[in-house]
Amino acid sequence: MLVTTESKAQGWRAVAVFDDRADALLFVGRSSTQVRQMYAEAFAEVLDEEEREHVTTIQLQQWSGAPDAGRWVLKTTLKVPTPAAKVRLAA
């Protein structure tokens, strides 16, 4: 049974693109706004420090087509989050 409640695809995702390995999925959301709000947090949680150093770009992609027959389409690139400054405490 196919239930179509929306006229166009609503699947969005953020994908990390590396300089030395395959791409990595960071976050999937229902809207581009939701993905934009959450991808930086996912970047810090999903990737370890070594992986984060090799990210060249983050792509915002939207699903285009039927749920079982479509493809991800690049919509824009997102800013690669910078790591929070490490605070050193005086001993």
- Which phi and psi angles does 17 have, rounded to 5°? -110, 125
Q: Residues 41-44: contacts with CB within 8 Å, 24+ apart?
A: 42/14, 43/14, 43/16, 43/80, 43/81, 44/81
Length of the chain in terms of residues written: 91
Give this prediction's pTM. 0.78
pLDDT tens digits for range 45-89 = 999 999 999 999 999 999 998 888 899 999 999 999 986 544 455
**How high is the pLDDT of residue 66?**
87
Listed residue (44, 47, 51) closest to 82, CA to CA:
44
Residue 57, number of CB atoms within 10 A of its CB: 14
- pLDDT over 70, % of the chain: 79
